[in-house]
Amino acid sequence: MNLYITIISLGVLIFLSHVFNELFDKTKIPNVLLLLLIGIIIGPVSGIVTTDFFGKLGNVFTTITLIVILFESGSGLNFKEIKKAIGSATLLTLLNFIITVLLTSYLSRWLLSIDVMSSVFIGSIVGGTSSAVVIPMVKQLKMGEKSTSVLILESALSDVLCLVVGLALLDGITQGVVTVGMVLSKMWKAFVFAITLGLLSGFVWSAVIGKIRSVKNSMFTTLAFVFILYGVVELLGLNGGIAVLSFGILLGNVEGFGKTRKFKKLFAFESSGFNPHERDFFSEVVFIMQTYFFVYVGISIQFGSISIYAAGLLIVLLIILLRVPGVIFLTGSGITRPEKTIMSVMTPKGLVPAVLASLPLQRGLAHGEIILDLGYSIVLFSIIICSLLVILLSVKPNLFGNIFKLSKDNKTEISLTNSDEIKAD
């Protein structure tokens, strides 16, 4: 592609993303879906741009996008809401993961005739929700604090779960040995140590951020520290995403508990969180990164066999259907029924399965092409169907009325744009 056309296109995409955000207020069409469709049109459909155009920079870009989104979303979470949401988020993550693994592994083995371990691998990499997709959609929907916290925490936890279990299974398949102990060992280390390192780094940065602000052009220094934190944690064999999320949560809440007497007795330093200018800056960076990210995901989609894509569509539909009971019973009180309806369809896949699905083929393992095509099909259909259901539910909030036992007089309404919370009338 011509260099100047590329530069013009990058500018046009930012303007379009702003337009799509405005359109959401009127049409309820998430900008995620529209940006994805642009990527598909200029990528696999027309062939104007291919993933080869980006080279190794593509993987670097997607990783940086995930880092920035997790960090910024963590800084916006409130400790009190996290306490309320962490139990529901953990249970929902585990239940959704287990159900998805069982369902996907069975259907992929039955419909596509692949071996057991390959089918379990596919189930494990699509067993969660995508932080990079869920977080922008949740913010556009302006849901309540608890429901927002549950969905963000679920996406972050499930990203780790899919990565750890998927990579452990892949190593086991390559070596010919897979044990439950090996998988569980990697899981608890990835969670516990990553969270600890993230929180400790947050304390350190809260002590020095005030002094760094006096340095000229220091706005990017926090993001620079976040990149270093992610890289170091990953080099240690842990999960950098969870560390970054923990780091953001602590810095986003340090102003609240950093001024208390208990904190001052325990720590001699003066802590500081983010000021409004920094929060606005991080929000702008996320907006730019996610705009290009979803177009890149669309470009990266590969259309394979029709039968494989039909299997992917069936799997996505069943995953959403089986998610509904979990949302009803595990999210607890403090979340309105319309919010639970939205949460029940909020199961898009994204970066993690797209990356992991390509690894078996790269390693020359059996059924690598089928795993790749099925992984991409599930990513594609999950984002499209999730977006369409969000549009539909914004117009007809009682769509799942019988399941959620919504009011008999059908007067329940959902507000997605005019308030900070979704409230049932």
Question: How crowded is residue 401: how many other Cβ atoms within 10 Å of its Cβ?
Answer: 16
At residue 94's C-alpha, the angle toward residues 90 and 99, to 5°, is 150
**Is this model's pTM higher than 0.85 or not?**
no
Question: Residue 77: its pLDDT value, please?
Answer: 79
Farthest-apart Cα atoms in the chain, separation = 65
Residue boundaries of the structural domains of the chain: 3-198+239-245+274-404
> In whole angstroms, how far apart are CA 92 and each of 89, 98, 134, 248?
5, 10, 15, 22
Alpha carbon distance 252, 149 (integer Å): 14
d(CA 31, CA 405): 31
The values of phi and psi at residue 330, to 5°, are -105, -10
- One-letter amino acid at 367 equals H
Q: Are 234 and 59 in contact (CB under 8 A)?
A: no
Distance, in Å, from the CA atom of 320 to the CA atom of 305, rounded to the nearest integer, reads 23
Pick one of 2.70.70.10, 1.10.3210.10, 1.20.1530.20, 1.10.3720.10 as the CATH number of 3-198+239-245+274-404.
1.20.1530.20
Quote the pLDDT of residue 399. 64
Q: Of 134, 138, 106, 133, whose CA–CA distance to 122 is shortest?
A: 106
pLDDT of residue 30: 80
**Among all chains, which residue has been given the structure tokens 């369902």?**
103
User: Closest by alpha carbon to 135, among 158, 119, 116?
Assistant: 158
Q: Give the span between the Cα atoms of 241 and 251, in whole angstroms.
A: 16
Q: In terms of Cα–Cα distance, which of 333, 384, 375 is closest to 146? A: 333
Structure confidence at residue 268 (pLDDT): 54
pLDDT in tens, the chain (425 residues): 678 888 898 899 999 988 988 887 777 788 888 888 999 999 888 888 887 777 777 778 878 888 888 888 788 878 777 888 888 888 999 999 999 999 999 999 999 988 888 899 999 999 999 887 888 888 888 788 888 889 989 988 888 788 878 877 887 777 776 666 777 777 777 778 888 999 999 888 888 887 787 777 777 888 999 999 999 998 988 878 888 988 988 888 887 665 556 655 555 556 667 778 888 888 888 888 888 888 888 888 778 789 999 999 999 999 999 998 888 888 777 788 888 888 989 999 877 787 788 788 877 888 888 998 899 899 889 989 998 888 888 777 666 655 555 434 333 333 444 444 444 44
